[in-house]
């Protein structure tokens, strides 16, 4: 299940920019070292003023006290004027969001773990790498967000399997095909080789309070 073009609002690589104001489920990926991602339900795009978010949530990694630390921050009336710092901005189609919604709360595993504050589960970095896979092996963690090469996985939950690889459930996937076109899909279950994972952040529920 994929949709191209109509869901891509901005793509630096393909040179796509569709000016306007958009509502829905929007993912924006920075093109920076921190590998940040912004989630928002509204965005204004223009060539002159860049991207404007009335409300949003940005996640990524930063270096604090010589250590990598995952962060998530609320954004209010936030503008990114320099469009060259953004790799892409996509709006997830409603039919895919419908499937994603259906997967929520439908599991029969009540013992999932919610973290209070946003934390890094895994970061592939030669100097400041993080790997808590062993610690959470076999546990079900809620609200994982992962960067896999150039793709983003936003899932309802993640489990580390016997091979030490993450298995994501109820996932939205944004990525590029072999022609570098952006594509979006929904998968009920995705397992990923840990070697392909750039990072996994577990979003804290404190960030989701209104």
d(CA 64, CA 75): 20
Binding mask 118-157 for other proteins (x = CB under 8 A): -------------------------x----------x---
Of 95 and 193, CB closest to other proteins: 95
d(CA 78, CA 98): 28
Chosen residue from 112, 131, 181, 185 binding other proteins by CB under 8 A: 112
Chosen residue from 48, 109, 127, 138 binding other proteins by CB under 8 A: 109
Residue 117 makes contact with other proteins by CB under 8 A:
no
For residue 109, what is the DSSP state? Answer: -
d(CA 39, CA 189): 21
Nearest-CA neighbor of 169 among 177, 159, 160, 181?
159
Residue 210 makes contact with other proteins by CB under 8 A:
yes
d(CA 140, CA 156): 10
Residue 179 makes contact with other proteins by CB under 8 A:
no
- Report the SS3 class of residue 114: coil
**Those residues with Cβ within 8 angstroms of residue 170's Cβ, 6 or more apart along the chain or in another chain:** 100, 103, 104, 155, 156, 157, 188
In the region spanning residues 3 to 62, those forming contacts with other proteins, defined by CB under 8 A, are 24-27, 39-42, 55-57
Only one of the segments 61-69, 97-105, 116-124, 126-134 lies at the binding site for other proteins (rule: CB under 8 A); that segment is 97-105
64: phi then psi, degrees, rounded to nearest 5: -130, 125
The distance of closest approach from Cβ of residue 56 to other proteins in the complex, given in angstroms and rounded to an integer, is 6
Residue 106 makes contact with other proteins by CB under 8 A:
yes
Q: Using CB under 8 A, list all residues that contact other proteins.
A: 24-27, 39-42, 55-57, 92, 101-102, 104-112, 143, 154, 172, 203, 208-210
């Amino acid at each position: 299940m994929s949709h191209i073009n109509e869901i891509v609002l901005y793509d630096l690589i393909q040179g796509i920019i569709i000016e306007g104001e958009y509502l829905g489920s929007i993912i924006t990926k920075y093109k920076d070292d921190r590998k940040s991602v912004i989630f928002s339900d509204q965005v204004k795009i223009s060539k002159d003023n860049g991207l404007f978010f009335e409300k949003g949530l940005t996640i990524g990694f930063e270096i604090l006290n010589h250590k990598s630390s995952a962060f998530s921050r609320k954004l209010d009336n936030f503008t990114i004027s320099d469009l060259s710092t953004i790799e892409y901005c996509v709006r997830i189609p409603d039919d895919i969001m419908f499937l994603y919604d259906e997967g929520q709360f439908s599991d029969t595993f009540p013992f999932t773990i919610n973290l209070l504050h946003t934390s890094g589960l895994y970061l592939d970095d030669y100097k400041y790498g993080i790997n808590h896979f062993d610690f959470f092996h076999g546990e079900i963690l809620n609200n994982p967000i992962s960067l896999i090469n150039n793709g983003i996985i936003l899932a309802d939950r993640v489990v580390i399997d016997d091979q030490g690889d993450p298995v994501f459930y109820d996932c939205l996937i944004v990525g590029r095909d072999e022609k570098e076109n952006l594509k979006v899909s929904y998968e009920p279950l995705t397992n990923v080789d840990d070697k392909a994972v750039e990072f996994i952040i577990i979003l804290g529920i404190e960030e989701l309070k209104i």
